[in-house]
Structure 1
Amino acid sequence: MSWLIALSDFFLYVMLAFLAGDVVLRSVKSEKKPLVEVPKKLLLLALALIPLLLAPPVIQLILLLSDSFGPAQAVVDVATEFRAGQSYVFGVLMAVAWLIVVWRNGSWVFRAFWLVLSVLNAAYASHAASIADWQGFAGHAIHFLALVLWAGVLIHIAWFLRDGRNWRAFLKWFTPFSIAMMILLIGSGIWLMLFFVAPEDYASSWILPYGQLLLLKHLSIVPLLLAAFINAFLSRSDAPNRAWLKVESSLLLLVLLITAFMSKLAPPHNINETFRVEGSAPFIEWLAGPQYLPVHAVWTPNIDAFLMLSIGLIFLGLQWLSYRKQLPEWLSFIFGLGFVVSVYTGLMFSFLF
């Protein structure tokens, strides 16, 4: 059921990003943004889906406790004693209140209020908050808020744009906005990582499922940053390059997908103990051979690793070239994925664990 919970988290992140984009663009004057038309029913649908998308981890907890305490008592215990249950109750109440605001065409201020509370509610239920108390809560809240604000505006501009008017006026505020969100995202991400993985154990953690996804998340940020750089500094025409906006938003959704699956795995506080309990991540033995305790990553450069890393750089160059030659946007996305897979493989070949 863990994959279903991870997918529900991913779609929850997408819904919140979509709603966050609505909040940001409503706060901007009409002469400083292009014409974006999002049907009201889509906003209402996104809010209606939130209780359903919050439910899978709560259902899992209830099923686990039902055998011991009975279904009714399990529901009460989960709702009152577990972070996931408390977060679900608050999340449903906030989604209903937010839906009423949207239904009544409330101002962006009220929408922003419920957005911030929803982000804080998600941070309350996070691994970081349960492990590092208020520091983990604050780090997750900042990280998640920056992610949904950036992704939300991109989703609206890339997929719901109707008229490119005021494009230069839009870029004047959105470029520094996206840079600020990127800085917050990377800074808070490093802060959160330090709660789970010591810097000296970063490479060693790759033997574990959580460490693998952490590495893939970090690698997926590279083609995302390249796409963001192209959109912010190279596409300076008076009309938006919707193809590359779609590339950037798709790569950002990839980061959200990896984050969702990471959130359902045990962080490697003690790599050897986690390896003893969970075993190695998929494909590790195929890429790096059989693994034994104690786990300690040792850099061992070799020709196979060098070739795969070089192929990764070639894919990154092709992503750049696809912009210069105006190739189809799906090719640019594929080149970004090629970079992630090639560099990931090259790094796996570069270490003995």
Structure 2
Amino acid sequence: MEVITIISQVLLYVCFSLLAGSFLLLLVPNNYRPDLRISKGFMSASVITVPIVSFIPILDITRLLAPRLGFVDSLKMVLTTYTVGTAWNFTLLASVLLLLLMLVARRSEQGVFAFLGIGLTLGLILTVAWSSHAGAVDPVRGIISDFIHLTASSIWVGVILVVGWNSVNHHNWLKFLRWFSMVAISCLVITAISGLMLMSIMVDDYPNSWRVSYGQGLLIKHVFLLPLIFYAFVNGALVKSLILRNSHFNPIPWVRLEGLILLVIFAITAVFSQKSPPYGNYMSNEAVSPLFRLFHDEMIDASSTIAFAGNLNTVFFLVLSISLLGLMGWSFFKKTPIIISFFFSSLCVLSVYMMLMVSVVVR
């Protein structure tokens, strides 16, 4: 069931992104973006998917209660008394309204349709933030920070995915970069700030959280931000420079690569969000992450803490990380297939992760 839940969370994040990106791009004048092929069927499928995949956690709770209360009574209880169930009722309502909007909207009303669509999409994101782990720990700060985090990341990822996979051409790319670069930078900053707010709610001590699976997921997610920021810079400043020199340069493959890394980050987020957040006096030797155990097999308890001590292995992985970062840049200028650049990116992430883990000392 955990695998199904993880897949459902990834699909939920992707659907939010596709909807937010599509509606935002529909508001942008045609001469400020490439020509796009965004069908109502594509958007409707995303809307229909949202209440289906967000129902999985409800089904999981119902399954646990069913042996004692019966499936039907358990489902009624979850939908009417649990926060996750109440939030899902509003998710279903907002999804139905958004689907009806898509059915009745006319092509001549595209601006109004997109504006209302963004509003309802934000409503869907709010219902998910309402039922989040952070919302359960701190109802005010948790819901607000999770809503802002999901919204900013959905807008950024959504535009990247829609432009990367639904563009007919790369016309007006420089005009597109002028406004989207500011949007992407704003979303990155907002995502970072809201992410720090979420960490302050869910994690007592970030380095010490690396000992458990939730903290390991956070660390890997954060390390993946390095290649993401690199390709965001590539798709902004470097692509602009190349297009000015060569108008036939096609930037879309590199946008797809940035989108692929964002999808990997979504997947990592879905995996570690299923683990127990490391707040409070949570640590025991049995709770230590198998990944952390690969590097440290000492006895660990609540009194154990993490410190850092550089060594030759640290230097080796630091040099390797910088070299792989250089190979990522080389692959761009040599116009290699994006799978090669993604391979270098993954190796760079692994090298940075290894550098941090071999520098850790348990006391």
**TM range, normalised to the smaller chain?**
over 0.9
The 5 A counterparts of 1:13-32 are 13-32=13-32
2:135 matches 1:129: yes
2:278 matches 1:268: yes
Query: Which of 211, 214, 220 is equivalent to 2:215?
Result: 211
Question: Per-residue displacement from partner, 1:3-43 (whole Å, max 9, x unpaired)?
Answer: 32122101110011111111100111112111010232211
On the 8 A contact 1:146/1:182 being kept in 2, the answer is yes
Query: Which of 197, 203, 206 is equivalent to 1:202?
Result: 206
On the 8 A contact 2:284/2:300 being kept in 1, the answer is no
TM-score (structure 1 length as normaliser): 0.95
The 5 A counterparts of 1:330-349 are 330-349=339-358
Match of 1:178 in 2: 184
Match of 1:252 in 2: 262
On the 8 A contact 1:287/1:345 being kept in 2, the answer is no
DSSP 3-state at the match of 1:220: helix
Match of 2:110 in 1: none
Match of 1:93 in 2: 93
* Alpha-carbon distance between aligned partners in 1 of 2:30 and 2:120, rounded to the nearest angstrom: 23
* Alpha-carbon distance between aligned partners in 2 of 1:308 and 1:288, rounded to the nearest angstrom: 18
2:242 matches 1:234: no
* Deviation, structure 1 residue 197: 2.1
* Alpha-carbon distance between aligned partners in 1 of 2:300 and 2:40, rounded to the nearest angstrom: 56
On the 8 A contact 2:170/2:251 being kept in 1, the answer is no
- Code of the residue aligned with 2:317 in structure 1: it is M
The 5 A counterparts of 1:29-108 are 29-105=29-105, 107-108=113-114
* Alpha-carbon distance between aligned partners in 1 of 2:103 and 2:286, rounded to the nearest angstrom: 47
Q: Percent identity?
A: 28
- Code of the residue aligned with 2:210 in structure 1: it is W
Question: Per-residue displacement from partner, 1:178-203 (whole Å, max 9, x unpaired)?
Answer: 111111011111111111223xx221
Shift >3 Å, 4+ stretches: none
Query: Which of 164, 169, 174 is equivalent to 1:163?
Result: 169
* Alpha-carbon distance between aligned partners in 2 of 1:7 and 1:295, rounded to the nearest angstrom: 34
Question: Per-residue displacement from partner, 1:207-236 (whole Å, max 9, x unpaired)?
Answer: 100110010111011100000011111101
DSSP 3-state at the match of 2:138: helix
Match of 2:359 in 1: 350
- Code of the residue aligned with 1:81 in structure 2: it is T
* Deviation, structure 1 residue 121: 0.7
User: Where does structure 1 lack aligned partners over 5 or more consecutive residues?
Assistant: none
* Alpha-carbon distance between aligned partners in 2 of 1:318 and 1:336, rounded to the nearest angstrom: 9
On the 8 A contact 1:167/1:240 being kept in 2, the answer is no
On the 8 A contact 2:285/2:299 being kept in 1, the answer is no
Across the two proteins, how many residue pairs are aligned to each other? Answer: 349
Question: Per-residue displacement from partner, 1:108-167 (whole Å, max 9, x unpaired)?
Answer: 111011111011111101111111111111111111000000000000111111022222
On the 8 A contact 1:285/1:291 being kept in 2, the answer is no
* Deviation, structure 1 residue 343: 1.1
> Closer, same or farther in 2 for the Cα pair 1:128/1:277, shift >3 Å?
farther
On the 8 A contact 2:33/2:173 being kept in 1, the answer is yes
DSSP 3-state at the match of 1:266: coil
- Code of the residue aligned with 1:262 in structure 2: it is F
* Alpha-carbon distance between aligned partners in 1 of 2:335 and 2:151, rounded to the nearest angstrom: 33
Query: Which of 284, 293, 302 is equivalent to 2:292?
Result: 284
DSSP 3-state at the match of 2:276: coil
On the 8 A contact 1:309/1:347 being kept in 2, the answer is no
2:307 matches 1:298: yes
Query: Which segment is superposed worse, 25-34 or 65-74?
Result: 65-74
* Deviation, structure 1 residue 277: 8.2
* RMSD (Å), alpha carbons: 1.5
On the 8 A contact 2:285/2:300 being kept in 1, the answer is no
